[in-house]
Amino acid sequence: MRVFITGGGGFLGSALVRRLADRGDTAIAFDRSFDLLARSAPPSPRIVAASGDVTDAAGLVEAVRRHRPDAVIHCAAVVSVLSSIDSPVGTVRINVEGAVNLFEAMRACGVRRALHISSEETYGEFRAPVVDEDHPLAPVMFYGVTKVAVEHLGRCYRDLYGMEVINLRTSWVYGPDLPRDRVPKNLIDAALAGRPLHVPSGADSAIDHTYVDDFVDGTLAALDCARHPFDVYNLASGTAPTLAEVVAAVKEIVPGADVSVGPGVYRHGDRIAVPRKGALDLRRAHAAFGYAPRFDIRAGLRAYAAAKATQPGAVS
């Protein structure tokens, strides 16, 4: 299979590119930069770097036409809530206009299937400790609003042009190559480096943290699914530890770790309070394509620590 991955040089995209190549598919990574991919993946004839930008409609059409993919995985987006708040116009241009450019390129080139990486931010304030895909969509941040818009636009392309756009709502994916400074990454990084770290608030925030390997497993299972009974699936860990519980797990994994968290809700960049969250119900994805996450927070943090230990410059 030939798979075109927008944002293929980023955290989620490069993880998908590596796994696709490892299993024998051809992964066409479309992005503006490939620094992370170059660091994390050895050269392979099954990995093709296609330089471009989703806001360049003509260039995107040309890339899809040139590489003739069988399917698309759409990861490219402004993904940070803080970045979306700091640049609403840029977020809409990249996330919404970029998605329309991609769907138009697919339509022009006869590509029928896309997986869109969506988010738990589409739900806004969780109305229950565990939510399924029928939870009302009431996003409270620009990022979540754009993800809802892209989901609905995909349905327009389905109904009008016969394309299949599957939305995967994932939640706070983390792993060794995550380029952003946020929990739980910053906590385990500090513990492994022997640095103290105190997160000012967030002990009471319960969040579904998804280890990157589970995200990749689920996304590729959705890609391989021949017939989808739904166009949206939750893809996460199915659990929602509080940040206090995450800190306790880090201390268990790295004895002597000097990490802590203050009371209250977590704040993005110590600025913006996260809406109330919880766990994502995974039963629909399990029934449709067998998704079964392998990593709760302790297993994910242990896997993270083990992966970090093998990276160049790791302290033994």
Q: For residue range 252-272, what is the model confidence (pLDDT) as tens digits?
A: 999 999 999 999 999 998 899
Q: What is the pLDDT of residue 291?
A: 98
Query: Which of 173, 187, 147 has its CA nearest to residue 280?
Result: 173
Q: For residue range 140-179, what is the model confidence (pLDDT) as tens digits?
A: 999 999 999 999 999 999 999 999 999 999 999 999 999 9
Bridge partners, 211 (sequence order) = 174
Please give the average per-residue pLDDT across 41-46, as a whole number: 89
d(CA 30, CA 13): 9
End-to-end CA distance of the chain: 40
DSSP string, 105-125: HHHHHT--EEEEEEEGGGG-S
- Structural domains of the chain, with CATH: 2-173+210-235 (3.40.50.720), 180-208+238-275+295-309 (3.90.25.10)
What are 232's two structure tokens?
């949206």
Q: Is the pLDDT confidence value at 183 over 60?
A: yes
What are 77's two structure tokens?
């987006």
Q: What is the pLDDT of residue 315?
A: 47
Evaluate whether 312 touches 176 at the Cβ level (below 8 Å). no
What are 234's two structure tokens?
């939750």
**316 band by pLDDT with thresholds 50, 70 and 90:** very low
Query: 23 — phi, psi (to 5°)?
Result: -90, 0
Q: What is the pLDDT of residue 311?
A: 74
Evaluate whether 285 touches 234 at the Cβ level (below 8 Å). yes
Q: Is the pLDDT confidence value at 314 over 60?
A: no
| Other beta carbons within 10 Å of 42 | 8
> What pTM value is reported for the model?
0.96
Q: What is the pLDDT of residue 313?
A: 57
Query: 96 — phi, psi (to 5°)?
Result: -90, -55
Give Cβ neighbours of residue 286 (< 8 Å, ≥ 6 apart).
Answer: 292
Helices then strands, counting H and E runs in the chain, come out as: 12, 15
